[in-house]
A = this chain, B = another copy of it.
Amino acid sequence: MKTIILAAGRSRRLKPVADKNFLRFAGKYLLEHQLEMMQQTGLEDFILVAGKHNLEQTQKLAEKFQAKVVEQKDLDQGMAGAILAAEPEVNGEPVLIVNGGDVLGQSAYEKITQTGDADAYILAYKVDSYFPGGYLELDGNRITNIIEKPGEGNEPSDCINLVLHLHKDSNKLFETLKATNSESDDIYEVALAKLMKEQNIEAVHYDGPWRPIKFPWHILDLMEFSFTMMGSRIDESAEIADSAIIKGDVVIEAGVKVFDNAVIQGPAYIGKNSVVATNALVRNSMLGENCVVGFGTEIARAFIGDDCWFHSNYIGDTVMGNNNSFGAGAVCANLRLDEKEIKESGRNKLGPIFGDNIRVGVNTSIMPGIKIGSNTMITSGLVIAEDIEEGKFVSGKTELTIKENTAKLDQSSREEMKDKLK
């Protein structure tokens, strides 16, 4: 059997976060975590379907797993295009199709591969409340149809379709895909409907962990999930001040420096060669490599890429890419004044979302849930309450009134104030 892992898609909804497959959770790419988990359930013979944008990274990663890599040239062909791109490597064997961006528990892979006599199997996830996905119409265990987003109250069952699909007759699958036309991005789904009429396609019921990554805040959910499997470890090359405090499940990689009075409150992951400086606090967060969490910064419940620099900032419930810098006093707001849900996230705490190569000036405030595109600079003292596209330079308008200073400073109050300090 071959395992086809779909990793070519670039989600518009994830923007300004680049490629979910190569987000690093606790030092490993998401795709790497996925492959390791599949390997542990006994899967092998992986075919990774990459796009032009991540082909090189995917090829590099593939070596570790002796996986094949194929390129999907036309991303507009969606899932069908991805599967057909893998055809030359399949050689008529059964195929397991995996969505690289959906994180499932190990048992999902175990269940789908312990198959019976049906022609194909689809992972059926039981939902407790309405979810805008594809619902399975079932006749016993046999799937007779998949109804996309039927609307609350119209669900044919409480099971939704997760993309962990086993097709025993891969040639039949490829032929059906090639014989299917559709004006929209659903060739695979239409082909599947055809196959259901000819084949016995069964549901494999699953109620374990499922962490899809569609929107940026899903990355925070996945971070939480991956904390539960991270463990605790401090590399011996890390330099940690005696007065620093490290509590809970914390992984500190090689070359990290933790300065005086810094606090790392687990779960937390600090990537290679990063610095947590004096009086900084990192909690419930993951930091990439070569980051500097400067004096007096708090990073809370945030997912941070490589080469990000902070200095007396508050960064909370935030997702950011690589090579970003924040001037002193810049704040990522993470709560609306009315404490209501932020955008469509289902959360009342969510910071801004950042791409890569961003510079933010001192004392600038970025509002909850705002998206800041890559390669953008934002000057000092601003309030950013709208999404900023990639590659922008954002400044404000400062009107100063400069008059003669007629005030005299009475020094008598100074000593009194100093007394009050004690």
Residues of A in contact with B (beta carbons under 8 Å apart)? 243, 245, 247, 257, 260-261, 263, 265, 275, 277-279, 281, 284, 290, 292, 294-296, 298, 300-301, 307, 309, 311-312, 314, 316, 323, 327-329, 331, 333, 335, 337-340, 348-349, 357, 359, 361-365, 367, 375-386, 388-389, 391-411, 413-414, 417-418, 420-422
CA gap between A378 and B403 in the complex, in Å:
11
Which residues of B have CB within 8 Å of A389? Answer: 402
CA gap between A339 and B323 in the complex, in Å:
13
Those 5 A-B pairs whose CB atoms lie nearest each other, nearest first: A314-B328, A381-B383, A338-B407, A393-B405, A337-B359
Q: A279-B263, A328-B333, A396-B398 are contacts. A381–B381 as well, Cβ < 8 Å?
A: yes
Q: A279-B279, A402-B392, A405-B393 are contacts. A327–B338 as well, Cβ < 8 Å?
A: no
CA gap between A397 and B397 in the complex, in Å:
10
Which residues of B have CB within 8 Å of A363? Answer: 329, 331, 363-365, 383
Q: Are A395 and B406 in contact (CB under 8 A)?
A: no
Q: Are A393 and B382 in contact (CB under 8 A)?
A: no
CA gap between A320 and B382 in the complex, in Å:
26
Q: Are A403 and B398 in contact (CB under 8 A)?
A: no
Q: Are A333 and B327 in contact (CB under 8 A)?
A: yes
Which residues of B have CB within 8 Å of A408? Answer: 338
CA gap between A407 and B375 in the complex, in Å:
9
CB distance from A122 to the nearest CB of B (A): 36
Q: Are B380 and A361 in contact (CB under 8 A)?
A: no
Which residues of B have CB within 8 Å of A247? Answer: 260
Which residues of B have CB within 8 Å of A398? Answer: 382-383, 385, 396
CB distance from A315 to the nearest CB of B (A): 9
CA gap between A382 and B421 in the complex, in Å:
27
- What is the copy number of this chain in the assembly? 3
Q: Are A418 and B339 in contact (CB under 8 A)?
A: no
CA gap between A102 and B76 in the complex, in Å:
69
Closest to A261 in B: B261
Q: Are A295 and B281 in contact (CB under 8 A)?
A: yes
CA gap between A392 and B402 in the complex, in Å:
6
Interface centre among A298, A300, A405 (most CB of B within 10 A): A405
Q: Are A312 and B327 in contact (CB under 8 A)?
A: no
Q: Are A340 and B410 in contact (CB under 8 A)?
A: yes
Determine which of B327, B384, B397, B418 lies in contact with A331 in the assembled complex, contact meaning CB atoms within 8 Å.
B327
Which residues of B have CB within 8 Å of A383? Answer: 363, 379-381, 396, 398
CB distance from A101 to the nearest CB of B (A): 26
CB distance from A212 to the nearest CB of B (A): 23
Which residues of B have CB within 8 Å of A411? Answer: 323
Which residues of B have CB within 8 Å of A397? Answer: 399, 401
CA gap between A307 and B329 in the complex, in Å:
24
Q: Are A400 and B405 in contact (CB under 8 A)?
A: no
CA gap between A277 and B263 in the complex, in Å:
11
CA gap between A384 and B393 in the complex, in Å:
18
Interface centre among A277, A381, A413 (most CB of B within 10 A): A381
Q: A260-B245, A277-B421, A295-B281 are contacts. A339–B405 as well, Cβ < 8 Å?
A: no
CA gap between A408 and B393 in the complex, in Å:
12
Q: Are B314 and A311 in contact (CB under 8 A)?
A: yes
Which residues of B have CB within 8 Å of A301? Answer: 420
CA gap between A316 and B335 in the complex, in Å:
24
CB distance from A338 to the nearest CB of B (A): 4
Interface centre among A243, A307, A395 (most CB of B within 10 A): A395
Interface centre among A340, A362, A398 (most CB of B within 10 A): A362
Contacts A247-B260, A261-B263 known; list 7 others, CB within 8 Å: A281-B296, A290-B418, A295-B298, A329-B331, A331-B362, A337-B379, A339-B409
CA gap between A279 and B282 in the complex, in Å:
12
